[in-house]
Amino acid sequence: MRFLILLLVCLVSNSLNSQVVGNSHGIDASIGQMHSGKNLRLGYLVQKNKSRFVIGTKFHLNNPDNQDSRNYAYQYRFHAYRPIEHFGLYSNFQARLIRSKQNWSCWLRFDAEMGRLGINSVYYEKAYIPEVEGPFTWTTPQSEVIHDTIYPSYPLSRRFEQKQLNLTHVQISISLLLEVSLTEQMKLNIATGVGTSLVHVPFQINYDSFNNVDTWSFEGLYWDPFNPYLRLGFSYNFKKKEKTKTATES
């Protein structure tokens, strides 16, 4: 994580230095689906010829429906428990591949984002059948238990929540970006691609509502090799000030 922050600082320093010699600059904004979930982005954009550099902040959007139907451990499960956890960093580099005369262009984008959040998941796990597997004690309210429609006395599954805190999440992605010019300064874009994610989980003790016991998670680094990357956004380039000739120049 420290290496990524240092890399972002070096990149933005280079782009700010290049902006002094006359490159166009502006703002970059988007909404998208990432490994951690949905987020909003707002950043500073610097463009020079056929390349761009963007750095900014992201705002994580908590998922109000945390029911886990696909049994993901981390994908789409991230949750900001504190206001500061909504915010993170992002950066990307773009290289233009195609520029059309019909006001559209195609770019190759390398993207990285980082945040520190928690996990909020809800699972429905198989429940014991007393007549078959012996007696057991419910640890969740009966309202959260799903029963068989033919044999209502047979519970099929029960609700179980998983919460973890202070996870560090990094996603690095590559995508193709299609950009359409709405005006000379305003441009609409959509990007789709694939990413890979790293999740650092610190040691912590959690409450297991399924078994009514405390559990612990060991510190570790988890890698998810293939993640979604889909973003819709716009960019706005500020007009460059035209250089006025002085009396000596004329």
User: 244, 206 in Cβ contact below 8 A?
Assistant: no
Residue 77 has pLDDT above 90, yes or no: no
User: 76, 67 in Cβ contact below 8 A?
Assistant: no
For 161-211, write each residue's pLDDT tens digit. Answer: 777 889 999 999 999 999 999 988 899 999 999 999 999 988 876 666 555
Amino acid identity of 38?
Answer: K
Q: What is the mean pLDDT of residues 95-124?
A: 89
Return the higher-pLDDT residue of 80 and 138. Answer: 80
Residue 113 has pLDDT above 90, yes or no: yes
pLDDT for residue 217: 66
Measured CA to CA, the distance from residue 127 to residue 242 in angstroms comes to 72
pLDDT for residue 45: 95
- Segment 5-14 long-range contacts (CB within 8 Å, at least 24 positions apart): 5/89, 5/114, 8/55, 8/89, 8/91, 8/112, 11/53, 11/55, 11/91, 11/93, 12/53, 12/55, 12/91, 14/53
Q: What is the mean pLDDT of residues 89-115?
A: 93
Residue 35, C-beta contacts closer than 8 angstroms, at least 6 positions apart: 74, 75, 76, 169, 171, 195, 197, 224, 227, 228
pLDDT for residue 203: 81
* DSSP strands (E only) in the chain: 24-33, 38-48, 51-60, 78-79, 87-99, 104-126, 145-147, 155-181, 186-201, 204-208, 213-217, 220-237
pLDDT for residue 90: 97
For 135-170, write each residue's pLDDT tens digit. Answer: 444 444 555 555 555 555 555 666 667 778 899 999
Highest mean pLDDT among 21-25, 44-48, 152-156, 236-240: 44-48
Measured CA to CA, the distance from residue 103 to residue 211 in angstroms comes to 59
Measured CA to CA, the distance from residue 35 to residue 53 in angstroms comes to 22
| Cα Rg, the chain, nearest whole Å | 24
For 36-71, write each residue's pLDDT tens digit. Answer: 999 999 999 999 889 999 999 999 999 877 665 556
Structural domain spans, the chain: 26-237
What is the value of pTM for the model shown?
0.73
Q: What is the mean pLDDT of residues 111-132?
A: 75
pLDDT for residue 216: 63
156: left (phi over 0), alpha (psi -120 to 50) or beta: alpha
pLDDT for residue 8: 45
Q: What's the whole-number average pLDDT of the chain?
A: 77
User: 237, 24 in Cβ contact below 8 A?
Assistant: yes
Structure-token pair, residue 207? 């409450």
pLDDT for residue 120: 82
